[in-house]
Amino acid sequence: MSCDAPPSTEDLMPRRSRYDRGQTCIKCKSQRGNLVIKHTVYCSSCLPAMLVRKFRRALSTSLDPAAPSRGTPSRTPPPDVILGLSGGPSSVVLLDLVWKCFSAQGSGRKDERRQVGKVRAVHIDWSCLGRASLVESLKENCDHYGIDFTVVRGEEAFEPAWRNAVGLDGSAADAHIDLSSARLPFVPSLAGPSDPVATLRAHLRSLPTPTSVPATLHTLTRLLLLHTASSSDCSVLMLGTSLPRLSIDLLETVAYGGGFALGAEREEIVRTSRGDVKIVRPLRDWSLKELGWWLYSRQLSVPRGVNGKPTQALAPTGGKTIGKLTEDFVIGLERDYPSTVSTISKTAAKVVPAEEAAYTCAYCLRPAQKDATRWKAGTAIMSLPFLITNAATDPLTPPKTPPLPAEKGLADSLCYSCYTHLTARGGTGAGKIPALASNGGLVTLGEAGMPMPVWVQQKLTEEEMRESIGGFLLEDE
């Protein structure tokens, strides 16, 4: 509206003063405080206990909201847990806390140790895209804690053998789609079996905006972790998502149009071919300062480096992705207005999908709304059924949103945000990703459409299924 002028730097929210509750620890009320967290002062003796309590509380709420009170033996066998480690600060803290709370060596209480069963760790290695490999240092860390460690290469998402190894349906051929049509129809693959790294790069290179690349890598990582957890018979996947990272993910999800599955960013249960996997984030209430203090006080080293960003190798030149913009925005808020970052997370906990999910997205396995991918077509006219001569005076036919092509395609099996990643075009500030512009010296795939991850498969229609088994069906009486 006209009275809302574009703000200048000095118009933004005024900075709040810190140390607004005195300098004595709020817990013991005797020691001089060492750290201010969200305007509250803690001493170095009280802080670790507070942080461990926070971790345990979040974990208990996620694992079993109706769990018996502390000290009461659990009646159900504890779930086996897989830790998803990225090599960043929060995954190092997660590993340390899990060891501290759930191992005999880590001084976890016997009854509390029963909260989880067998613990193992998994890391998705994206070194094929030019990122530094963290495998050795993460392995060292896990060996130090006595936790089994598994590495899954990122390109496995395009490796048919991996699909079979994790128990996914291997009957269908690799799927390729045509991005030039809004319905994303499946097209036959012209090339034979190809190198999974080349297929991964071709997949990322086909994405229409640089913004879609980190978002897609995020989804691929999540799916690789999920299928690995499922194939290892682990029903819980634990991630080291901190409060600012959760807020970044939530705002990103909103910006991608994924509001329907907003709650899934905090906690979700995903149905896989071998059973349900629950994704939990027990560090979801931890600020960067709390993570930093834990790393410092426990003398932990971070394989990726404190400032190392997983998407740095794929950063576009001449622009920023939505992910990077959101990250900068939230980290700025975390520094100056920590309560706002916490509010974003709390707000997301209070909303639910506006309707029942119609199906599960074929790409990200999150719930999707009915006609999710057709909604946008109703907001913009992309073609005209007749020529305009003089719209001001000539009678016009009754307007309607132009009907979408009837052809079937992957679009009908996607959620809104996955569809947007595959179809939305870039703006003036989108930039280019040099690392993907070339194919890294690998063999170029034939012009066979965009290759899809191995879990995305073309679903047969009822008629097609009937046709394939037609010879065995008996005529109706």
Partner 1 sequence: MAPPRTCALCQTARPIVRRPKTGQQVCKECFFHVFETEVHNTIMSAKLFKPGDRVAIGASGGKDSTVLAHVMKVLNDRYDYGLEMYLLSIDEGITGYRDDSLESVKRNQQEYGLPLKILSYDELYGWTMDAIVEQIGRKNNCTFCGVFRRQALDRGAAALNVDHIVTGHNADDIAETVLMNIMRGDIARLGRCTLICTQGEDSIKRSKPFKYAYEKEIVMYAYFKKLDYFSTECIYSPDAYRGHARVFLKDLEAARPSAIIDIIHSGEAFQIGEAVELKAQQTCKRCGYMSSNDLCKACTLLESLEKGMAKLATGDRNRRRLDEEPAPENMRTIPMFHRATPAEPAAAP
Sole binder of partner 1 in the list 88, 258, 449, 453 (CB under 8 A)? 258
Question: How far apart (Å, rounded) are the C-alpha atoms in residues 235 and 264?
Answer: 16
Question: How far apart (Å, rounded) are the C-alpha atoms in residues 116 and 356?
Answer: 32
Could you say which residues in the range 190-209 bind partner 1, by CB under 8 A? 209
The answer to whether residue 369 forms part of the interface with partner 1 (CB under 8 A) is: yes
Q: What are the structure tokens assigned to 345, written together?
A: 């997370």
The answer to whether residue 218 forms part of the interface with partner 1 (CB under 8 A) is: no
Question: How far apart (Å, rounded) are the C-alpha atoms in residues 13 and 337?
Answer: 9
Contacting range for partner 1; rule: CB under 8 A; set: 109-117, 289-297, 347-355, 453-461 = 347-355
The answer to whether residue 338 forms part of the interface with partner 1 (CB under 8 A) is: no
Q: How far is the CB of 349 from partner 1 (least distance, A)?
A: 8
The answer to whether residue 348 forms part of the interface with partner 1 (CB under 8 A) is: yes
Question: How far apart (Å, rounded) are the C-alpha atoms in residues 179 and 448?
Answer: 11
Nearest residue to 451 via CA among 227, 72, 192: 192
Chain-centre distance for alpha carbon 264: 9
Sole binder of partner 1 in the list 15, 171, 383, 476 (CB under 8 A)? 383
The answer to whether residue 422 forms part of the interface with partner 1 (CB under 8 A) is: no
Sole binder of partner 1 in the list 381, 437, 443, 460 (CB under 8 A)? 381
Sole binder of partner 1 in the list 66, 391, 469, 474 (CB under 8 A)? 391
Q: How far is the CB of 343 from partner 1 (least distance, A)?
A: 4
Could you say which residues in the range 298-327 bind partner 1, by CB under 8 A? 319-322, 325-326
Write the DSSP assignment of 43-75 as a string of letters: -TTHHHHHHHHHHHHHHHHHH-TTPPPTTSPPS
- Kindly state the helix (H) or strand (E) to which residue 90 belongs, with its residue range: helix 89-102
Sole binder of partner 1 in the list 2, 105, 180, 299 (CB under 8 A)? 2
# binding residues, partner 1 (CB under 8 A): 74
Q: How far is the CB of 392 from partner 1 (least distance, A)?
A: 8
Q: CB-based contacts of 257: which residues, under 8 Å, 6+ apart? A: 416, 417, 420
Q: How far is the CB of 246 from partner 1 (least distance, A)?
A: 13
* Amino acid symbol at 414: L
Nearest residue to 249 via CA among 313, 336, 344, 123: 344
Collapsed DSSP state (helix, strand, coil) of residue 179: coil
Nearer residue to partner 1 within complex by CB, 320 or 459 = 320
The answer to whether residue 375 forms part of the interface with partner 1 (CB under 8 A) is: yes
Sole binder of partner 1 in the list 65, 110, 307, 384 (CB under 8 A)? 384
The answer to whether residue 344 forms part of the interface with partner 1 (CB under 8 A) is: yes
CB of 95 closer than 8 Å to CB of 122: no
Nearer residue to partner 1 within complex by CB, 105 or 383 = 383
Q: CB-based contacts of 34: which residues, under 8 Å, 6+ apart? A: 42, 43, 44, 47
Helix axes 46-63, 288-297, angle to 10 degrees: 120
Nearer residue to partner 1 within complex by CB, 384 or 406 = 384
Could you say which residues in the range 60-119 bind partner 1, by CB under 8 A? none
Sole binder of partner 1 in the list 36, 254, 313, 448 (CB under 8 A)? 254
